[in-house]
Structure formats: C-alpha cells, structure tokens
Amino acid sequence: MTTFKSVFKQYNWNEIKSKIYQTTTKDVENSLAKSKKNLDDFLVMISPAAQPYLELMAQKSHELTKKRFGKTIQMYAPLYLSNECQNICTYCGFSLDNKIKRKTLSDSEIKLEVQALKNLGFDHVLLVTGEANYTVNINYFLNAIAQIRKDFSIISIEVQPLSQEEYERLHQAGVYSVLVYQETYHQEVYKKYHTKGKKSNFDFRLDTPDRIGKAGIHKIGLGVLLGLEDWRADSFFNALHLDYLQKTYWQTKYSVSFPRLRPAEGIIEPNFIMDDKDLTQLICAYRLWNENLEISISTRENEKFRNNIIPIGTTSMSAGSKTNPGGYVVDPQSLEQFEISDERSVAEITKIITERGYEPVWKDWDRTFSQTSKVKSLKENSVFN
C-alpha cells in the first residue's frame, strides 16, 4: 500500500535545506512570474532570496485569497476535553513528565463548556485532547461528539493518530475535519523532542493523513511546530506532504496552520526563531502556490500580527480561545497547554475583522449548500457575487 512515507524517503533534509538557501534572485523572479506555481516554486518563495519581494507576494496573496474565498474569515474555537497524556513531548505543557493536575471533562462539564461557546456565537468547534489512550480514546470521542453534534455545524478534531477504521467511525459520527501536525519532518531529531510514548513513532504519525484520507473525512489539516527546526526546510516537507495528499485524496479539502512555539509549563526554548516577517512570507508562499488551501491563524499569534494578516491570506481564525480543559467555565484556572498570545475577547476580534472590511463567518457553507431550499437565498446574498 503506497503512503506518503514512500515519497518522503526520496528526499533528503540537508539537500532540500541547501537548495532553499542557494536560491537566487533570478530564481525568485522566474517563479513569481509564473501563473501556475509548483512545489519547486514554493521552495523558491520561502527562501531568504525571496524576502525582498514580500510586498509583491503579499499583494498577490491578497488578490488570490479574495478571488477564491471572498472577504470572509471563518470563526472557530478550540474545546479542550482533556489534558491527560502518556507522551513526553519536550515542548508541551501537557507532557507526561509535567506534574500538573490532570483533567478529562465529564458529560455534564462538556455541556457547560459547549454552552459557553454557543453564548459567544461559535458554530465551529475544534475538539482537542492529549494522548491518553486508556481514558481518552475512540469511545470517549464518540460519546463527546454525540453530545455536541446538534450544537455545532462543524466539528473538527485534533487528537492522537487513530486507525483508518476509527477515523471512519468519527466521519460517520459527524466529524468534518481532522488536524494532525507532524511537528517536524526532520526525522533524525524528531526523537529528541518526542522521547516517550506512541508519538515517538515518526512513521506512524507520518502516515496518519493517509488513513484520514482513506476514511473519507472532508478536510485534513496539516502543520509543523515552527521553532523546533529550520522553518523553511520543515515547511517545504509540509508542502510536499500536502502536494501528495491533494493528488491522492483529491476529493478532500486541506488546511494548513502555523503554530509557533509558545511558552508553557516546563518546556524548551525555540531552537529557531521565526519572526512575523518570516511567517508572513510563509503564508504568502502557501497562497501563491495553492489557491484553494485554507489558512488558519490561531490565538497563539500576537494581536498585531493577527490584525495585519487578515487581508493577506487568512481564511479562518480562532478567538477567545482557552487551551485548558474546562477553560471557558468549568475550571478556568487549570494549566493551559501553551500561553495564548492574542487574549482579546471574541467581540474585539470580530470588530477588528469587520473594520478590515471582512465578514466573520460562523456557519459552514458546505452543509448549507446541501440544503436545496437555502441555496437560492444564499446565492442572492453571496459574498462571492
């Protein structure tokens, strides 16, 4: 059975890194002039040589995003269900070796948290847990989804890698998208960051999106944890992964996120600093390479960056996020997975989006379009007209 692993093994980290850093001005100008860009052009656009062209890239990224997605930002919120975890990841507050109070939300606590999110206006929820297979497993997820399904149009999930059969069950239960980040594609150092637990199996994680694609989940979200290794090389491999998935599971939609390493209880300092300009360059490169890609910006990022990146390529944003189980109402003081950077309220963030001339969107378009009676009125009011 072919999976991404067989593609990945044809590439060498050091060779890709050298290629990125040896890119010339002429390479950049050639790539930017092309109407349809391939993976080689993506590599060129994330190079240091492309930095002087950032303004031009940002303008093109803005135009392409507006053409494909309109002036809209999809709104979502994470709902942390559990901070139990059997893995040691050196960058995470939930790591097994951190002596924190562990908590998994009960049915009644989930209801309270859901009500808090509904009161804030959310219709898209991202369920998040650590990796504790004995307690927070497929049965726990299915039970939680059954409880909240009627409350949200979109349910996304970011949990431990599962089997294809388990993803099929999530799909049937109503899960719309699954997020799984490789963290780093640098296989040799991966083990250094993931010292204990199932997550230390690089290959199993690498082939997880294949299992999600085969299970027929509507959307797959990828990303790397920016700050662990050279962001340019890691992002090339993330794009390579996306490229393979899009060609293999072509009916699936894709999103990419850009988590930069944030402070958390007991974690390491970033090995590689990625500043706001670098992140803007990366977002533009993704957009210029791939018009259809959804680009998500979380509250890990600071206020100023989030304000400025709205018109440049973003398609979805979280707001008012809590990264601890029970963080909205049940147990607001419990330890968070990482410190969020943008602490503004949902109302403040939607105001900024509106002031930028964009419309915060709370409801999923796909499901609405499947209801024939609503199609006509939506067409009449569409932001794409």
Residues in contact with ligand SF4 by the rule CB under 6 A: 85, 87, 89, 92, 94-95, 130-131, 199
Token pair, residue 155, equals 């349910």
88-89 and 194-196 as β-strands: parallel, antiparallel, unpaired? antiparallel
Token pair, residue 353, equals 């989006």
Considering the complex, what minimum distance in angstroms separates the CB of residue 152 from ligand SF4?
22
- Whether 345 contacts 57, CB under 8 Å: no
d(CA 122, CA 346): 10
- CB nearer to ligand SF4: give 205 or 241: 205
Considering the complex, what minimum distance in angstroms separates the CB of residue 95 from ligand SF4?
4
Considering the complex, what minimum distance in angstroms separates the CB of residue 194 from ligand SF4?
7
Considering the complex, what minimum distance in angstroms separates the CB of residue 85 from ligand SF4?
3
Considering the complex, what minimum distance in angstroms separates the CB of residue 349 from ligand SF4?
25
- Whether 220 contacts 257, CB under 8 Å: no
Spell out the residues 6+ positions from residue 28 whose beta carbon is closer than 8 angstroms to its own.
Answer: 44, 45, 47, 49, 50, 53
- CB nearer to ligand SF4: give 256 or 267: 267
d(CA 327, CA 51): 39
- Whether 237 contacts 222, CB under 8 Å: no
Considering the complex, what minimum distance in angstroms separates the CB of residue 92 from ligand SF4?
3
- CB nearer to ligand SF4: give 124 or 194: 194
- CB nearer to ligand SF4: give 85 or 319: 85
- CB nearer to ligand SF4: give 86 or 248: 86
- Alpha carbons within 13 A on the beta-carbon side of 88: 10
Considering the complex, what minimum distance in angstroms separates the CB of residue 94 from ligand SF4?
4
- CB nearer to ligand SF4: give 151 or 158: 158
Place of tokens 């899009």: 246
Please, where are the H alpha helices in the chain? Answer: 4-8, 13-21, 25-33, 39-45, 54-69, 107-120, 138-148, 164-173, 187-193, 202-206, 208-214, 231-248, 276-289, 303-309, 346-355, 365-369, 372-381
- CB nearer to ligand SF4: give 225 or 293: 225
